[in-house]
């Protein structure tokens, strides 16, 4: 006989707070398939309508975490740290953050995802490196972390199986857009990674999942509460995603730009945001003493002297990738057969805005996004912004390039890019990526 969840459904329907044991009963029923799907769906809807307390959400995340394998790192001689981003256009920070934190003496066991809709996925970017494996087992993850100090791979089937079951049901029952489901879902996976410290990059703006600052703040506060309730050092930064981050949007082009930052160059805003997120994680861990050197200075030094780049190359090699492609972008996948299409400024003035969502959709039109059937993106296509917000531009001056393979998607991509750029007669306001910190 299956599990009967009617009493729990009634309690949540009536606005009551569930105990951790009751939340665990619901998640266990979902994991084992021991309750009728209609009851699971009813509980999901009751949560969406009446919400959860911090204690319930923490219990929800922990119950999903414990539905599968939980990684532990007690055998390491270094503290552990990880980062999560809610996703945006041109967000390649993880590729820089992980080796940079490893240079700071942390072990980084990072499990990342693939592209979703118009946002790029860290795994898709890394797979533009020939041979790079994103399907490591937990034992292989451990070996790479011990050898290199950082690893970036995909979720194994043994991690948080309850979340996969419940996410599928949420997608079929119109219960996805709820912080009470979203935050425990995100945090269950990050908690299962086992890192002691977690920094959250919660994006807000046109190219982000959360469009308003209030909504982003709410999500950040809830996730930080879950992390702290689970005993992890957790903080969040609210960061803007109205314009793409950096100048590259795509897969191989974003790896190339990440390497630029790792060698001490690249766009300043990308360099600064990565350092901000490293500094936030180190602060959350309580490691303020860097041997008399400020945290930021030590982070900058690891970028400028090439040590973080060497660490990235070592990670690529340890995960089966061709490390020479890190130093020679022509070896990245997808470059053959590409053409360039130049977009020019419609008039002179100052670039007052570049809509992140439009740029992301343009790259998707070229084949740079994951298909609705789950098909892999084209690693070579993408966009490169020759100018950015705040730059002065002359009429007819190139402001962006599209890397493409022709076809119907090119016209659609060009139209989206033309709609993305706003040229004004007055200087643009300061582009401060970090809006606030939540801890």
Residues recognised as catalytic: 84, 163, 170, 185, 189
3-state class (DSSP) for residue 116: strand
The DSSP letter of residue 80 is B
- As to burial, measured by CB atoms within 10 angstroms (0-12 exposed, 13-18 middle, 19+ buried), residue 69 is middle
Instruction: Identify the bridge partners of residue 204 per DSSP, sorted by sequence position.
Output: 210, 240
Residue that is written with structure tokens 């001056």 in the block: 397
Dist. CA 167–CA 185, nearest whole Å: 8
How far CA 156 is from CA of 72, 216, 396, in Å, comes to 15, 28, 49
Angle at the Cα of 192 from the Cα atoms of 375 and 42, rounded to 5 degrees? 75
Strand duo 150-153 + 108-111: pairing = parallel
Which token pair is 168? 């599928």
CB-based burial, 326-365: b 16+ in 10 Å, e otherwise: beebeebbbeeebeebebebeeebbbbbbbbbbbbbbbbb
- Give, for 425, the enclosing helix (H) or strand (E): none
Dist. CA 205–CA 183, nearest whole Å: 19
The DSSP letter of residue 78 is S
Structural contact between residues 270 and 277, judged by C-beta atoms closer than 8 angstroms: no
Dist. CA 38–CA 25, nearest whole Å: 16
Dist. CA 96–CA 265, nearest whole Å: 12
Sheet containing 421-424, strands listed edge to edge, beginning at the edge strand earlier in sequence: 392-393, 349-354, 421-424
Dist. CA 438–CA 252, nearest whole Å: 33
């Amino acid at each position: 006989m299956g599990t009967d969840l009617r009493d729990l459904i009634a309690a949540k329907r009536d606005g009551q707070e569930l105990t951790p044991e009751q939340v665990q009963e619901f998640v266990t029923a979902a994991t084992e398939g021991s309750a009728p799907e209609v009851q699971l769906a009813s509980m999901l809807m009751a949560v969406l309508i009446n919400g959860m307390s911090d204690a319930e959400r923490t219990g929800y995340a922990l119950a999903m975490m414990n539905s599968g394998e939980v990684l532990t790192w007690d055998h390491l001689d270094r503290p552990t740290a990880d980062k999560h981003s809610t996703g945006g256009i041109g967000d390649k920070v993880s590729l820089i953050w992980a080796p940079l934190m490893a240079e700071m003496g942390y072990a980084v066991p990072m499990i990342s995802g693939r592209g979703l809709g118009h946002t790029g996925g860290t795994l898709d970017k890394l797979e533009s490196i020939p041979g790079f494996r994103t399907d490591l087992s937990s034992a292989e993850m451990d070996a790479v972390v011990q050898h290199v100090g950082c690893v970036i791979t995909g979720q194994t089937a043994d991690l948080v199986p309850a979340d996969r079951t419940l996410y599928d049901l949420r997608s079929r029952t119109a219960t996805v857009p709820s912080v009470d489901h979203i935050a425990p879902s995100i945090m269950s996976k990050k908690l299962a990674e086992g890192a002691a410290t977690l920094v959250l990059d919660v994006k807000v703006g046109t190219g982000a999942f959360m469009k308003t600052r209030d909504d982003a703040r709410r999500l950040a506060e809830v996730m930080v509460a879950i992390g702290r309730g689970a005993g992890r050092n957790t903080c969040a930064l609210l960061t803007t995603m109205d314009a793409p981050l950096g100048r590259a949007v795509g897969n191989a082009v974003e790896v190339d730009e990440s390497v630029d930052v790792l060698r001490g160059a690249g766009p300043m805003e990308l360099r600064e945001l990565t350092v901000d997120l490293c500094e936030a994680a180190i602060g959350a861990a309580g490691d303020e003493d860097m041997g008399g050197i400020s945290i930021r200075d030590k982070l900058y030094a690891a970028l400028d002297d090439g040590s973080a780049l060497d660490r990235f190359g070592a990670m690529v090699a340890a995960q089966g990738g061709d490390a020479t492609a890190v130093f020679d972008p022509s070896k990245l996948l997808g470059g053959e057969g590409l053409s360039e299409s130049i977009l020019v400024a419609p008039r002179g003035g100052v670039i007052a805005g570049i809509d992140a969502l439009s740029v992301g959709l343009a790259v998707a039109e070229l084949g740079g996004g994951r298909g609705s059937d789950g098909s892999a993106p084209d690693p070579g296509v993408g966009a490169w912004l020759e100018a950015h917000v705040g730059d002065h531009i002359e009429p007819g001056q190139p402001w962006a390039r599209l890397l493409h393979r022709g076809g119907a998607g090119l016209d659609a991509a060009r139209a989206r890019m033309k709609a993305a750029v706003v040229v004004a007669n007055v200087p643009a306001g300061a582009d401060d990526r970090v809006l606030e910190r939540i801890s």
